[in-house]
Structure 1
Amino acid sequence: MIEVVENKKQLKEFIDFPHELYKNDPCYVPELYIGQKELLWKADNHPFFDHSDMRLFLAKRDNKVVGRIAAILNNNHIEYTRQPEGFFGFFDCENQQVTANALLNEAAKWLKGYQLKNIIGPVNQSTNNTCGLLVEGFNTPPVVMMPYNAPYYSELLENWGLQKKTDLLAYEVSKDSTQSKALNLLDRLISRLESKGIVIRSINTKDFKNEVAKIREVYNTAWDKNLGFVPMTENEFKVTAKELKMILDPRFGIVAEKEGKIIGFAIGIPDINEIQIDMPKGRLFPTGIFKLLFRKNKVSTLRVMMLGVLEEYRKLGIEACLYGKIIRNAEGTNITKAECSWMLEHNYLMNHAIEQINGRLYKRYRIYEKAI
């Protein structure tokens, strides 16, 4: 039986279902309940709902939840791309094809009601949020704000008729492997950029509001040709920046600047999933908040989650400098490795920049599509 999520009891079931599904999986990391609720519940006024909408569905058998899915109507994406396509996201399901089919059929039916012709996913609201289905790299837990799922999910989706649209890549960079010639040449490369009037510096947290506004301009321009990208609204970017500021170390927020204009940036955040993996059902209270506060500085992994350079300044080595600066700044901390994610499989320039510092491709995520 398929239910539409219409009240807080059903919302709680929707958010908590993966905890039961993955209770015996050592790689599963529960999402923070409070963050999921804000994303999913329209009454909590997340800025996504200022312009778009989504419908949540639960699959139940004998009154027990066995699957969930969100059908997502992102009007900004449709307006920006001029494509009549919708998303499905927040997909979790038992290993039963009939259950997966029922959920996907319901999501497709809701999107067709808006005259959409194509369904894409898994994408949680937009590619600015968590997206992709893990298809390679199941042996380690996901890092912060990256998805995780059982290996059988790909079979469920493909049996329903979904086909690969693109792959998203995650690279691992260990501290030991970065003592390469490329990283050792970082100072020379930075000097060469400075001779062109380009300065590499840390984000100024004392002027965070203005820094965020400048970074948003680069973000919405640098990604404009990426698959499925849609610019973040001012309110959406503010919410993201506010969340990141709580865990951002300025040593791992680096910008490239020319004549006072930010032309590129990279943001690395500590992998708080190392802490959340020990939080039952993603609850901060009563003890989760203390785990976050006291263990944050002991995290060993950094996720480089955003990196963008304006098109006219690419091929100057800025990307490698941004990565290299973050990695060098990790010296003297507990950080022993970084994940650079996600990267489009065809973004050869960025992927090459990571490979230059001995990045190793170790996880692969897939976005699917199907005509409806």
Structure 2
Amino acid sequence: MTINIRPVASNQDLRRFVLFPHALYRECPWWVPNLISDEIKLLTKGRHPFHEHADAALFLAEENGKIVGRISAHVNHNHNKFHGDRVGFFGFFDCADSCEAACALFDKAAEFVQSKGMDTLRGPMNFSTNETCGLLVNSFNEMPYIMMPYNFPYYENLLESARFSKSKDLVCYHLDESIFSFERIGKLAQRVQERSGMALREVDMNRLKDEMKILRDIYNSAWEKNWGFIPMTDAEFDFMAHELKPVADSRLLYIAEHRGEPVGFIICLPDFNLVLKKTNGRLFPFGILKALWWKRKIRRIRIITMGIKPEHRRAGLDLVFYAKIAQVSPTIGYPEGELGWVLEDNYLMNRAAQKMGARLSKRYRIYDRKIP
């Protein structure tokens, strides 16, 4: 078989790139499409702030004129400036079960980042740890939560056949009422609050611009020592706020204050993947009506991220946040959820989840390949 790799060079090509997974996963009950319009926006230079500090290229793999795979190759200059290394990335990888096609795509991605002076190819990153990332390596028979990827089991073999090795695992924990109960952790959290003087408040959606500045400052302070972290620019944070506002519920968004100073936050979102699955990633012409219908049937949340300033990290604030979500979420219609992702070697976060009795449910892997 002859595999041809060609760049995405037109709007028509971009649409083919975005729609390829729809064909690949057509018979898969677990895969969830992204919102097509949002993915096109993310991939288009000038429409997403990621491209202000990155070089990116998109490629399609074809066999006899039929698309059999896709990949992005990108250099995030903010990452390399922050970490002092020369890492290029691949993302948006989808491929038929063909080592030849996959290797050709990875070789093209490596060629692109090498031309920019990089010595390592890392991924999958769509486009960074601030968006979706990781390759699912277990639990293939369940639907992913919002902003988490899904892939076929054979993808792991495709990467290993292309000389990739594990760089880091990201883990997720399953939560339900039997585990994530306020009765279980509420009293302990109350004692922590009384001892530390911490107060929680909802994010004020009417002052979202001001609130996002607070969240951004905490996020960049809290995460700066984490593996793979890249500080978010003002434009990226504002863009994310705009994109997530339609699915956010202020009753699941909290800021912690100590003596009036914001020191931490937790962000949880209703699992909008149910809606994306039912609308097949399309809002027009009838997707909006479907979305409004299925949105009422969402019963899961994802704890997307939590940030605590370093000087308050050992005060038990993580427990206070978890207790608040455990208290609120079942009363507003969300009896189960997912915590993650968490770096596999983030001792404090993993210990907190395990102490609650949360079940390790999914594992996502980031891979590296040295160039050449």
Contact 1:320 1:353 in 2 (8 A): yes
Q: Which moved more, 1:210-219 or 1:192-201?
A: 192-201
Distance 2:254 2:52 in 1: 31
Give the structure 2 partner of residue 41 of structure 1. 44
Contact 1:324 1:357 in 2 (8 A): no
Show the 5 A alignment for 1:227-246: 227-246=227-246
Distance 2:259 2:296 in 1: 34
Deviation track 1:294-318 (CA, whole Å, cap 9, x = no partner) reads 3323201101101111111012110
Distance 2:192 2:166 in 1: 41
Distance 2:195 2:97 in 1: 58
Show the 5 A alignment for 1:319-330: 319-330=318-329
Deviation track 1:88-144 (CA, whole Å, cap 9, x = no partner) reads 000000001000000000000000001100111001121101000000111101111
Distance 2:328 2:297 in 1: 16
Cα offset, 1:208, TM superposition: 1.7
TM-score using structure 1 length = 0.96
Give the structure 2 partner of residue 171 of structure 1. 173
Show the 5 A alignment for 1:95-174: 95-174=97-176
Distance 1:153 1:219 in 2: 32
Give the structure 1 partner of residue 203 of structure 2. 203
Distance 1:57 1:248 in 2: 33
Contact 2:173 2:359 in 1 (8 A): yes
Distance 1:114 1:57 in 2: 17
Amino acid corresponding to residue 129 of structure 2 in structure 1: T
Give the structure 2 partner of residue 90 of structure 1. 92
What do you get for the CA RMSD once the two structures are aligned? 1.3
Contact 1:28 1:141 in 2 (8 A): yes
Show the 5 A alignment for 1:280-299: 280=280, 282-299=281-298
Q: Which moved more, 1:249-258 or 1:172-181?
A: 172-181
Amino acid corresponding to residue 82 of structure 1 in structure 2: G
Cα offset, 1:181, TM superposition: 6.0
Distance 1:313 1:297 in 2: 37
Distance 2:253 2:182 in 1: 22
Deviation track 1:171-218 (CA, whole Å, cap 9, x = no partner) reads 1100233337642425xx335424433212221222222111011001
Contact 1:120 1:369 in 2 (8 A): yes
Give the structure 2 partner of residue 27 of structure 1. 30
TM-score using structure 2 length = 0.96
Residue-pair matches, total? 368
